[in-house]
Structure 1
C-alpha cells in the first residue's frame, strides 16, 4: 500500500525563508501545505510559486490551534511538521522522507534538529513526523497528543531562527504566551524551562534564573528527595531530555549575573546527574573561569577546578544524542579553552600537544 505524505507549515511573514524550506522538502513528499496566519509580505506568493497549497488561519495566540487547522487542511496519511525557518539537510534525509510513502503510519517519528546560533550549533530530537490523525495541544511549545511508539528517523533539519538577525522579529511573543500558559498550569516544569530558555536567548538572565529555578522546583517536587539526588531527577526514566540543557543554560545565566557561588552550589547538586554531559562541564568551567577573573585571590584554588572541568569535557567527548548538546563542547571548544589555561600556567608544550590532537582549535 502507498501512503500519502505532506509537509505541513504554519507561517507569518516568512518571505525570507519559506522558499528555502519548500525547495528542500518538495522532491520527497506528495504535498505541501502552508497555513498562513496573517502575512503582509510575499510569503503567500512565494509559497505558491514553490508548489505549496496555501490556506489561511486567523491568529488567536495559540500555536496548537494553528497547527491543528493546518493538519486538518493537509489531510495526509503522514504529516511532516516543520517551521519556515527550518530546512532539510543531510544525505539520507530525503530517502527517509521518501520511505514514509511505503510505511504504515503507526508511530511518531522524531527528527534530528540542528539549531544554529551565534557561535555554534545545538542538536535535539523532536517529534515532527506524525500519523494523519495526531493533533497538538498547548498554546506555545505545543506537543502532539498520542500513545503511539516513538521512532528516531534519520531525518536532519537545520534551524536558524536563533541567529541574531532573526531573533528580534519574535522578541517578547513567546514569553507572553508562555506566561499565559503557566498561569493555567503553574506546576509544569517544561513550561518554566521554556520560559527560562526564551529569557536567556535574549540575555534577560535575571528573569531566566527565576524561571529555571521554578522548573527545578516543580520537577524535584514530583517525588521526595533522596540521599543521592533531588527527587525525580535521580530516576533517569523520569528525568526530562531537556534537563542537561536547562542545567547548562542556568549555569551560564548565573555566571552572567555574577552569582558564581550560587552557580557552584547548583552545580554540586548536578555532578552525578550530569556526569556524562560535556555541556554541563563546559558551562561549569566557564563559570569558574569568570569567578577567577572576578576574584584573582581565589585563582589558585579555582584554576585546577577549571582545568578539571574542561578535561572532563574531552573525556566524555561529543554527545550529539543529548538534547541541546552544543557541537564542540566535547571536543575542540573545550580543547581550545583548556589550551589557553595551560599556556597561562606555563605549560605551553602540553597546550601545543592538545592543539595538535584537535586540529580545529585556533
Structure 2
C-alpha cells in the first residue's frame, strides 16, 4: 500500500481553496497547503477543510515554493494542484495510486474555462499536465515550472476543472506573472517555452502586439515535437490576425496544414482567417467562400480533438456548426442555415449532457 498526498501552494485564495480541497479530500491520504503570504483567511479555511498548513516567504519563484511544499510530504505519490482547480472526475484513479508502484509520472487533464470577447465564460481549453509525482521529484523554473525527471509519463483518467484564466481571476493576479516571466527571460532569452508563455500572458490581457512579438520568437525556436506546439500555432495565427498580419497568418497556415489535418482547432481557425480575407478582398470571395465552408465542415468531420494541447471544446462540434449557420445566413441560404442551426443546438445539448454525466463542471 502506497500513500498519496495532495500538495498545493496558495496565496489569497480564500474564495476557492475549500472547493479544491473538498473535491480531492476523499481520494488522498493527506492534504498539504503551503501558504506563501496570504492576507485573507486562506490558511484558516484550508485547515478547516482538513489540510496541514505550512508557511513560506514568497520569493518570486514558483519552483522554490513547489519544492518547499513537497518537502513537507512523506507520501509515495504527490498530487500537485492549484487552488483554483478542482477534481471534476477520476477520483477512483487517484485512489488507485495506492496500489501502484511510483515508477512513472502521471499527467492529468486540466480543463480550463476562459472568457471570450463577448461575455461570460463560454469556452474551455484543455491541457495534459504532469501533476502526479513520485516522492523525490523536484520542480525547476521560476514560472510555468516543470517537474524534473527521466520517468515515463502516463496519462491518467482524471480531469481537473480550472477557472484561473477567467477575467476576474486574471485581474486578481495582476502583472505578477508578467514580471516573473520577464525576469526568467532575462536569464534565458532564447527559451521557446518561456517565450510562448510570455505570449499567452500578453494575449489574455489583450496586449496583442507584445503577444505577436513573443510568439514570433517562440515559433522560430519551438521544437517540432513540443506538445505545446499546437497551442502555440493556433494562438499565433489568431494574434497575427489581430495585429493585421493576415497574409502572414494565411501563409503560415498553408505551410503547417499537412501537419494538422487531425486538428479541429486548426481548421476552425483557418476558416476564421479565410473569412477575414474574404471581407478584405471581396473580389476574391467567390474562390474563398467554398474553402471557408469546407474548413468548418472538416471540423465537424473530426469532432472535438481535445487530446491536442490547448484544444477548445466545441470547435469540432457546436461552435463549427454555429459558424456554418451564420455563414449560410449571410449568403441568404435559409435551408442550410436552418440545418446548421438545429445541428449546433443538438451538439451543444449533447456536449452539456456528456459533461454533466462525467462530473465536469
Q: What's the TM-score once normalised by structure 2's chain length?
A: 0.91
In the aligned structure 2, how far is the partner of 1:171 from the partner of 1:291?
35
SS of the residue 1:8 aligns to: strand
CA contact (8 A) 2:263 2:305 kept: yes
Secondary structure at the aligned position of 2:54 is classed as: strand
Match of 1:291 in 2: 277
Match of 1:245 in 2: 231
Alpha-carbon displacement from aligned partner over 1:145-172 (angstroms, at most 9, x marks no partner)? 1111111111110000011111101132
Worse-matched range after superposition: 43-52 or 166-175: 166-175
Tell me, which stretches of 5 or more residues in structure 2 are unaligned? Answer: 116-121, 350-361
Task: State the aligned residue count.
Answer: 342
Match of 2:154 in 1: 151
Q: Which residue of 2 aligns with 1:352?
A: 338
- Contact map agreement 1:355 1:361 (CA 8 A) in 2: no
Counterpart position of 2:197: 194
Q: Map 1:19-98; keep pairs closer than 5 Å.
A: 19-90=18-89, 93-98=90-95
2:258 maps to what in 1? 272
Aligned residue in 2 for 1:205: 208
Query: Corresponding residue for 1:227?
Result: none
1:343 Cα deviation (Å)? 2.3
Matching residue within 110, 113, 117 for 2:110 = 113
Partners of 2:229 and 2:333 lie apart in 1 by 36
Cα distance in 2 for residues equivalent to 1:26 and 1:134: 22
Q: Contact 1:18–1:47 (CA<8 Å) still a contact in 2?
A: yes
Superposition deviation, residue 75 in structure 1: 2.2
Look up the SS of the partner of 2:164 in the other structure.
Answer: coil
Query: How far apart in 2 are the matches of 1:317 and 1:94?
Result: 27
Separation in structure 2 between the aligned mates of residue 336 and residue 287 of structure 1, nearest angstrom: 16
Bigger shift: residues 183-192 or 122-131: 183-192
What is the root-mean-square deviation in Å for CA atoms of aligned residues? 1.6
Kindly indicate whether the alpha-carbon contact (under 8 Å) linking 1:260 and 1:288 is maintained by their aligned counterparts in 2. Answer: no
CA contact (8 A) 1:114 1:156 kept: yes
- C-alpha distance in 2, partners of 1:212/1:113? 23
Q: Tell me if the contact between 2:318 and 2:343 (Cα under 8 Å) persists in the aligned partners.
A: no
Supply the distance in 1 between the matched residues of 2:244 and 2:189 (Cα, whole angstroms): 28
Q: Secondary structure at the match of 1:165?
A: helix
Give yes or no for the alignment of 1:164 onto 2:199.
Answer: no
The answer to whether the 8 A contact 1:37-1:56 is kept is yes
Query: 54, 78, 100: which is aligned to 2:97?
Result: 100
Aligned match of 2:291:
305
1:335–1:361 contact (8 Å) kept in structure 2: no
Q: Does the residue aligned with 2:101 lie in a helix, a strand or coil?
A: coil
The farther-off stretch of 341-350 and 188-197 is 341-350
Aligned counterpart for 1:123 among listed residues 126, 131, 134: 126
* Aligned-partner Cα distance in 2 for 1:258–1:332: 28
Residue 297 (structure 1) shift: 4.3
* 1:54-79 C-alpha deviation (Å, 9 max, x unpaired): 11111111000000000001221110
Q: Distance in 2 between matches of 1:145 and 1:207?
A: 30
The two structures have a TM-score, normalised by structure 1, of 0.91
User: C-alpha distance in 1, partners of 2:175/2:203?
Assistant: 12
Deviating beyond 4 angstroms after TM superposition, the runs of 4 or more aligned structure 1 residues are: none
* Secondary structure of 1:161's aligned partner: strand
When structure 1 is superposed on structure 2, of 81-90 and 240-249 the one drifting more is 240-249
